[in-house]
């Protein structure tokens, strides 16, 4: 479950991730994670989709401001673009998503961010940190997406959940409506 980074910012950050040699750059669209990869049974999907629709229905769009870079090293080999605004909105939505049928403990405290380098040599991680230290982008979080991990290793959005959507269904840009 993620908040997608919209164009042109998402494509730019994905290209930067690829430029650092991150092998996952083309398999994972740029995003802010709400729930890390979670395996679910197909029979549970309908309840999960209904839960996510309920979460989205109670929320409103909120601004996201990306500013500069950060890292989780030495705890985790990740360099990321930081959020300067929208942290509280992400935390609120994440807490709601991580309830009901998706309730589970997480291995780390939640820290919204956009990964730009992961499991790369230290000098490359340092380069990514430096090159994106001055990065900035502003956009509105319109909702969130449920992704599926394909057999080819690529994560693709399957459903979009639009904040504040009514009972007529949840739709998103070019995805399956959730009705």
Delimit the domains of the chain by residue range.
2-162
pLDDT class for 179, splitting at 50, 70, 90? very low
pLDDT class for 175, splitting at 50, 70, 90? low
Give residue 81's pLDDT: 98
Residue pair 62/141 in contact by the 8 Å Cβ criterion = yes
CATH topology (fold) of 2-162: Cyclic Phosphodiesterase; Chain: A, (3.90.1140)
Structural tokens at position 55:
């979460």
Mean pLDDT of 4-19: 97
Compute, in degrees rounded to 10, the torsion defined by CA atoms 17, 20, 24, 29: 10
Q: The pTM is what?
A: 0.91
Report pLDDT digits (tens) over 103-145.
Answer: 999 888 999 999 999 999 999 999 999 999 999 999 999 999 9
For residue 100, what is the DSSP state?
A: G
């Amino acid at each position: 479950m993620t908040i997608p980074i919209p164009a042109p910012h998402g494509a730019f950050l994905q290209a930067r991730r690829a430029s650092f040699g991150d092998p996952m750059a083309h398999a994972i669209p740029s995003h802010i994670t709400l729930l890390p990869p979670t395996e679910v049974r197909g029979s549970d999907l309908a309840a999960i989709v209904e839960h996510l629709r309920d979460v989205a229905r109670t929320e409103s769009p909120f601004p996201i401001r990306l500013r500069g870079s950060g890292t989780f090293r030495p705890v985790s080999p990740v360099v990321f673009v930081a959020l300067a605004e929208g942290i509280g909105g992400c935390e609120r939505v994440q807490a709601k998503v991580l309830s009901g049928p998706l309730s589970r403990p997480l291995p780390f405290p939640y820290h919204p961010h956009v990964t730009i380098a992961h499991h790369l040599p230290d000098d490359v991680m340092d380069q990514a940190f430096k090159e994106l230290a001055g990065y900035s982008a502003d956009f509105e979080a319109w909702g969130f997406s449920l992704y599926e991990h394909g057999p080819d290793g690529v994560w693709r959005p399957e459903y979009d959940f639009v904040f504040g959507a009514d009972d007529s269904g949840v739709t998103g840009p070019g995805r399956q409506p959730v009705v």
